[in-house]
Amino acid sequence: MGLYLLDYGAGNVQSLANSLKKLGYHFTWVSHPDDFLKATSLVFPGVGAFETAVNHLVSRGLFEPLRQYVQSGKPYFGICIGMQILFQSSAESTVPGLGVIPSPVERFDDKEKAVPHIGWNAARPVSTQPDGPAQPPYYYFVHSYCAKHQPERHPEASGWAYTTTQYGDETFISSVRQGNIFGTQFHPEKSGPAGLALLGAWLANYREVALIHPIPASTLVSSPEFTLTKRIIACMDVRTNDEGDLVVTKGDQYDVREKVDPDPGTTTNPSGAVRNLGKPVALASRYYEAGADELCLLNITSFRLSPLQDQPMLAVVRAAAECVFVPLTIGGGIKDTTDPDGTKRSALEVAGAYFRAGADKVSIGSEAVYAVERLRAQGKPDGASAIETIAHTYGRQAVVVSVDPRRVYVDPKSYDGPYHDEIISGDTSGLENDKGKAWWYQCTVSGGREARQLSVVQLVQGVETLGAGEILLNSIDRDGTGLGFDIALVSLVKRSVKIPVVASSGAGASQHFVDLFKNTSAEAALAAGIFHRELVGISEVKERLMREGVRTRI
């Protein structure tokens, strides 16, 4: 008897388990169809792809028992796919859902906006309460498919809508509620204090959950004021230092060793110790408390190691997921590997280990470059790349591609290479140092150590074709310089793809975040050194953005 959690073996369900523990609840995993009879309440934290979820449930004999449970009148809370599965069908798949809500789940229209819809957005209740806060709560969303709120087209679904959310020109159903059934498209387990409050309220009294966020009627009009906010992401580059400790380090144009003056009288240039800016879990916890919208942990020397043997990084993810209730992206070494004992590990297995440890997204660097090189050589996807296999199982929203471009300076008058259309003139950058220069952006692998014959535009368009859900756009030239984001680079990439773009590298002041969001349509800004060195706080950046009219989650 008691609270049960349904896991179909794909995606990060650990975060929900951690949230429940934090709220003081004990639970049991559903492992057998009979468990549905024993459960007195059930949470289904569906993460990943719709078809994978349904197929796993069917193959384990859990699909029909789940339908019977939902119809039994006992409390059900479905999250993301756990809500979508209540619907008749999904455009993501040919297999049907439970059909409790006789309407389809459809894909967002990407004509005017980036898809997937990733980030913090407002959930506005459909029915009103006379008193309540003026601000609807913001929760974390990550999905490409949704139940559209179109009462004429889908009257049944609208009857279930408890909250709706605006994304660009579309309004979708962000939560459903009827009788014993509650479902959210957003992830309460990843939505910081607001999400924990919602989960806690449902667990305490599922019938009363409707009353926990009363909103005055005046705020219910469709308003551009309540839409997707710009995300601020804190990034931790992790590696072992010379003493063998796992530390957060910080590069200066990717060089993470302290600068040391050469010995007088010698010509050698000695390298200093690896910069140590703190412990990964302690810093992750600090940034969560400070209001970071997401965290990113990159294992920056993973190309030397077999990641499944790299237990410290998995342990870091596990420990971070216990104290951080916003999304975690893990990068470095997401690729096919062979353990020293000869055991082959596919990139999908490696990613799976990180998802089970508590990661929400994986970030792929070098392997994405090689995959696009193969795509270009073969003319079509072969289905075997890490991007494709992980996106197929976990959904494309779980796959980030981390791009490490470096400027290649050219004379535009004499340049006769293939990247004419991608040449940037430094006269428009606003930086004195760029004046009179011109360049294109070349892709690199192995943390910038090796340049490849691929431009940044070719790479991002290639990974979008393969199924990546988001671009993490670094800049080797700006990394650690504090000169500001490379606006020309971000604009070039935003023009080239439909998926969201996280701008990274170069933040040195709050004004740089304002410049980024005022001059580009990037969905998020990632920074490292400025936060590690406490030059500016996350809340200071967000308050500055709000004052300048850029919406963020405060």
Report how far residue 286's alpha carbon sits from residue 198's, in angstroms, rounded to the nearest whole number: 23
N-to-C CA span, the chain: 40
For residues 302 to 331, the per-residue mask of contacts with ligand 1PR, x marking binding by CB under 6 A and - elsewhere, is xx---------------------------x
Report how far residue 64's alpha carbon sits from residue 69's, in angstroms, rounded to the nearest whole number: 9
| 250 scored as a contact of ligand 1PR (CB under 6 A) | yes
* Nearest-approach distance from CB 249 to ligand 1PR, in angstroms: 8
Residue numbers 102-131 binding ligand 1PR by CB under 6 A: none
Among this protein's residues, is 187 annotated catalytic? yes
* Nearest-approach distance from CB 341 to ligand 1PR, in angstroms: 22
* Nearest-approach distance from CB 507 to ligand 1PR, in angstroms: 5
Which of 25, 244, 218 is CA-nearest to residue 135?
218
| 361 scored as a contact of ligand 1PR (CB under 6 A) | no
Among this protein's residues, is 26 annotated catalytic? no
Residue 283 vs residues 42, 310, 320: alpha-carbon distances, Å: 34, 20, 9
Q: Which DSSP string corresponds to 472-502?
A: EE--TTTTTT-S---HHHHHHHHHH-SS-EE
Candidate residues 191, 385, 402, 429; the one interacting with ligand 1PR per rule CB under 6 A: 402
Total residues contacting ligand 1PR (rule CB under 6 A)?
33
Among this protein's residues, is 237 annotated catalytic? yes
Q: Which is nearer to ligand 1PR, 233 or 281 (CB)?
A: 233
| 477 scored as a contact of ligand 1PR (CB under 6 A) | no
| 484 scored as a contact of ligand 1PR (CB under 6 A) | no
Report how far residue 542's alpha carbon sits from residue 553's, in angstroms, rounded to the nearest whole number: 8
For residues 407 to 446, the per-residue mask of contacts with ligand 1PR, x marking binding by CB under 6 A and - elsewhere, is ----------------------------------------
Q: Position 18: which residue type? A: N
Which of 319, 278, 239, 243 is CA-nearest to residue 529?
278
Among this protein's residues, is 92 annotated catalytic? no
Candidate residues 291, 365, 469, 484; the one interacting with ligand 1PR per rule CB under 6 A: 365
Of 35, 92, 106, 189, which residue is the catalytic one? 189
Mapping DSSP to helix (H, G, I), strand (E, B) and coil, where does residue 316 land?
A: helix
Q: Which is nearer to ligand 1PR, 80 or 238 (CB)?
A: 238
Q: How many CA atoms lie within 13 A of 40 on its CB side?
A: 8
Q: What sections of 72-148 are H helices per DSSP?
A: 81-84
* Nearest-approach distance from CB 194 to ligand 1PR, in angstroms: 27
Residue 183 vs residues 95, 145, 206, 325, 500: alpha-carbon distances, Å: 20, 15, 11, 19, 25
| 505 scored as a contact of ligand 1PR (CB under 6 A) | yes
Residue at shortest CB range from ligand 1PR: 447
| 496 scored as a contact of ligand 1PR (CB under 6 A) | no
Candidate residues 199, 232, 525, 528; the one interacting with ligand 1PR per rule CB under 6 A: 528
Candidate ranges 279-287, 408-416, 428-436, 525-533; the one touching ligand 1PR (CB under 6 A):
525-533
Candidate residues 106, 189, 404, 477; the one interacting with ligand 1PR per rule CB under 6 A: 404
C-alpha torsion 22→206→210→44, nearest 10: 70
Q: What is the CA radius of gyration of the chain?
A: 24
Structure-block tokens of residue 384? 């075997």
- Going across the sheet that includes 101-107, the strands are 87-90, 101-107, 145-146
| 76-80/39-46 β-pairing | parallel
* Nearest-approach distance from CB 389 to ligand 1PR, in angstroms: 15
Of 80, 146, 296, 443, which residue is the catalytic one? 80
Q: Which is nearer to ligand 1PR, 106 or 486 (CB)?
A: 486
> Token pair 């294109």 is at which residue?
440
| 462 scored as a contact of ligand 1PR (CB under 6 A) | no
Among this protein's residues, is 189 annotated catalytic? yes
Q: Name residues whose C-beta falls within 8 Å of residue 190's C-beta, 6 or more positions apart in sequence.
A: 15, 140, 325, 326, 327, 360
| 284 scored as a contact of ligand 1PR (CB under 6 A) | no
Mapping DSSP to helix (H, G, I), strand (E, B) and coil, where does residue 187 land?
A: coil
Report how far residue 50's alpha carbon sits from residue 36's, in angstroms, rounded to the nearest whole number: 21
| 405 scored as a contact of ligand 1PR (CB under 6 A) | no
Report how far residue 123's alpha carbon sits from residue 468's, in angstroms, rounded to the nearest whole number: 27
Candidate residues 326, 493, 507, 536; the one interacting with ligand 1PR per rule CB under 6 A: 507
Of 237, 310, 477, 486, which residue is the catalytic one? 237
For residue 7, which phi and psi values (nearest 5 degrees)? -125, 125
* Nearest-approach distance from CB 516 to ligand 1PR, in angstroms: 12
| 300 scored as a contact of ligand 1PR (CB under 6 A) | yes
* Nearest-approach distance from CB 517 to ligand 1PR, in angstroms: 16
Instruction: Return the active site residues.
Output: 80, 187, 189, 237, 404
Name the residues that contact ligand 1PR, by CB under 6 A: 235, 237, 250-251, 254, 256, 298, 300, 302-303, 331-334, 363-367, 402, 404, 447, 474, 479-480, 504-507, 527-530
